[in-house]
Structure 1
Amino acid sequence: MSSRRRKPAWLKSRPPSGERFTEIKSTLRDRNLHTVCEEANCPNLGDCWSGRNGPGTATFMLMGERCSRGCNFCDVKTGGMDPLDPDEPENVADAVAEIGLDYVVLTSVDRDDLDDGGASHFAATIRAIKRRDPEILVEALIPDFQGDLDAVDTIVDAGPDVLAHNVETVERLQWPVRDRRAGYEQSLSVLELIANSAVYAKTSLMLGVGEYDHEVYQTLSDLREVGVDIVTFGQYLQPSHSHLEVFEYAHPDAFDVWKAVAEEEFEFLYCASGPMVRSSFKAGEFFVEALVREGKSIGEARAAASAAAE
């Protein structure tokens, strides 16, 4: 099914604008920092950076703007890797302070060209932020480091509050969706290590790439079995003609069903699910803040997240 037909009404997003948007963009450019919001053409950039439903936020993308892998769903540039910027951890910490964030999301490109995949650089950034203000909550969305669990441990030891790694899709569709160096079992091993630490484990799946319902159900079962706490569902959108086509646009009701299945049947702590949901999503941040910072119950934290998503 071609993705170039007209998108349904529920996939409309507003263009970025406003003083807060300009402020965040200027802060990032001044420090030569990148965000996955821009590099991956996130449809929520307008809402997140403009500050609707709370202060503006951005997901910092570490280790450059080019990825060593080439996943067929992702719009981040690939190849031509640059050396790491040794000042980046402190620059990110400076930007967090200037923007005034109390919840920070970090992610990165894959850096298979580096001995540790960039894990020590990731950890240094987390520590730089926490050193400035230990009360800031840090969520890190990490690569699989080619299955190197010592690299994952390096990031766990840095003390993030939430550690995410995206399985992206069901087992059958890992290829052609993901780069061949990724893999379902490899991702599950990363998530299991995270879940066995003192950090909340989180992952994300895309709908609309050709998955069957029973495969999504099995994926949720596998994720819960290894101890994942938080899961998100979002609609896959084709970035360009050269990327994987959209198989279907899932109706918002389908996302509501998967949220109920995840929370009520599999007892995930929280599930953010909707056509415009991405792995870094403000409602999820509200859930973690309510749970961790405010000490609310799971039910109260879910209610806070639902209110933020409205």
Structure 2
Amino acid sequence: MVTLIDMTVPGAPEKPKLRHPEKQKNPDAPVLRKPDWIRVKAPVSQGFKETREIVRSKGLVTVCEEAACPNIGECWEKKHATMMIMGDTCTRACAFCNIRTGMPAALDEKEPENVALAVEEMGLNHVVITSVDRDDLADGGAEHFERVIRAIRARAPGTTIEILTPDFLRKPGAAERVIDAQPDVFNHNLETVPRLYRAVRPGSRYFHSLRLLEKVKERDPQQFTKSGIMVGLGESRDEVMQVMDDMRSAGIDFITIGQYLQPTRKHAAVDRFVTPQEFKSYESIARAKGFLMVSATPLTRSSYHADADFAKLRAARQAKQ
């Protein structure tokens, strides 16, 4: 957890707070030139503008903007936005992440209803709700997740709900509360291979995250579970295979694999750009290992095409049964 110290002089112009204060002492990492298969068009469509207006009017935060997602133009054009609850400031400081870090503000008690109103106004068939890590809260924000899920169920009962949660590390009983709120999909990303956790995800624990997803299946076998990793951080192919096996052992239904993209020179460097052919290979292997659903492309992100993928996921389960 990072605490920001106010060093401003009374009467002097207020300096903008750094987005990543904990990374300022990091040496600048080299930035690799993006290959053609990573490039995306700038968001300029009317649908994009309408989605942005709905998000702004409800005072909501989206991970699409905060994490600088490359797919924002395509998704917002279709009115698909991933809501990020509990503020825009995270208590963790992952080396890959573009989310602001520091001491978060108090929870917005009106947020659950505002999220539900936005879902209703957009007419979403499927919504993805994620959050920052809130290690400052006794339950890690579990009750807030519950309230958001209940509010959406009340406002938009036909909308299926996918959540992308923190790991609730050292928050006894928190995960159980969220599981019992019965989202349709419970997603928590492993992000990378175990060897790279200390450098890339130092505030988290690989096997705790894996156990969280296993617990979902034990408590509610009908809930779909989902997890994802980034590649291009220096992992080996064998390590990716091992993560797939670990996920399957935990009963995870859906795996996402996407290319890591470096937000700034102060973030972890891209080791290499994985080719589309390699992603195709990962997809084939993951399907052979028994995942019901696989999304493995350079631009894959946790909520990319989440609505269409949920329909495929449900169909795959029915076909298997």
The question of a shared fold, defined as TM-score above 0.5 by the shorter chain, is answered with: yes
Aligned to 1:16: 43
The aligned counterpart of 2:257 is: 233
Q: 1:79 to 1:26 in 2, by over 3 A?
A: same
> Which amino acid in structure 2 is aligned with residue 72 of structure 1?
A
Counterpart amino acid of 1:230?
A: F
1:223 aligns with 2:247: yes
In 2, the alpha carbon distance for the partners of 1:66 and 1:19 equals 29
Match among 85, 101, 108 for residue 85 of structure 1: 108
Letter in 2 for 1:121: H
Q: How does 1:220-299 map to 2 (within 5 A)?
A: 220-264=244-288, 266-282=289-305, 284-292=306-314, 296-297=315-316
Q: Contact conserved, 1:168 with 1:206, CA < 8 A, in 2?
A: yes
Match of 1:49 among 70, 73, 76: 76
Q: CA deviation at 1:181?
A: 2.3
Rg: which structure is higher?
A: 2
* Deviation per residue, 1:154-213 (Å, 9 max, x gap): 1111121000000000010112111x2201011011111122223101000000000011
Give distance in 2, aligned partners of 1:195 and 1:126: 19
Aligned-pair CA distance for 1:3 = 5.0
Tell me which amino acid in the other structure corresponds to 2:101.
T
Distance (Å, rounded) in 1 between the aligned partners of 2:42 and 2:76: 11
The amino acid that maps onto 2:168 is F
State the partner residue of 1:205.
229
> 5 Å matches for 1:98-109?
98-109=121-132
Query: For residues 104-119 of structure 1, what are the structure 2 equivalents within 5 Å?
Result: 104-119=127-142
Residue 256 and residue 215 in structure 1: after superposition, are their counterparts in 2 closer, same or farther (change >3 A)?
same
Q: Deviations over 1:235-287 (max 9, x none)?
A: 000000110000010001111111111111x10001100000001110x4313
Q: 2:293·2:316 contact (CA, 8 Å) conserved in 1?
A: no
Distance in 1, matches of 2:148 and 2:59, equals 15
The one-letter amino acid of 2:215's match is L
Q: 2:163 matched to which residue of 1?
A: 140
Q: Is the 8 A contact 1:195 1:229 kept in 2?
A: no
Cα distance in structure 2, aligned partners of 1:291 and 1:210: 30
Which residue of structure 2 aligns with residue 124 of structure 1?
Answer: 147
Structure 1 residue 299, shift from structure 2 partner:
9.3
Partner residue of 1:191? 213
Residue 290 of structure 1 and its aligned partner are, at CA, apart by: 4.1
Which residue is equivalent to 2:64?
Answer: 37
For residues 279 and 238 of structure 2, the distance between their equivalents in structure 1, rounded to whole angstroms, comes to: 15
TM-superposed CA distance for 1:147, in Å, is: 4.6
The number of equivalent residue pairs is 290
Partner of 2:9: none
The equivalent residue for 1:214 is: 238
Offset at residue 298 of structure 1 (A): 5.1
Percent identical residues: 43
Q: How far did 1:27 drift?
A: 1.0
User: Matches of 2:113 and 2:292 in 1, distance apart?
Assistant: 33
1:175 maps to which of 165, 189, 198: 198
Give, in whole Å, the separation in 2 of the partners of 1:281 and 1:26. 21
C-alpha displacement of 1:24: 1.1
> Secondary structure of 1:289's partner?
helix
Q: Distance in 2 between matches of 1:93 and 1:126?
A: 8
Deviation at 1:217, TM superposition (A): 0.6
Q: Is the 8 A contact 2:214 2:252 kept in 1?
A: yes
Given that 2:227 and 2:255 are in contact with CA atoms closer than 8 Å, whether structure 1 keeps it comes out as yes
Work out whether residues 32 and 270 of structure 2, in 8 Å CA contact, stay in contact via their aligned partners in 1.
no
Please state how far the C-alpha of 1:300 moved relative to its aligned partner.
7.8
Q: What is the SS of the residue equivalent to 2:121?
A: helix
TM-score normalised to structure 2 length: 0.87
Q: 1:299 to 1:127 in 2, by over 3 A?
A: closer
Deviation at 1:130, TM superposition (A): 0.9
Residues 292 and 316 in structure 2, CA contact (< 8 A), matched pair in contact too:
no
Alignment-mate amino acid for residue 252 of structure 1: P
One-letter identity of the residue aligned with 2:150: R
Deviations 1:85-118 (A, max 9, x none): 0000000000111111110000000000001000
Instruction: Tell me the SS of whatever aligns to 2:64.
Output: helix
- 1:151 partnered with 2:154: no
Q: Which has the higher helix share?
A: 1
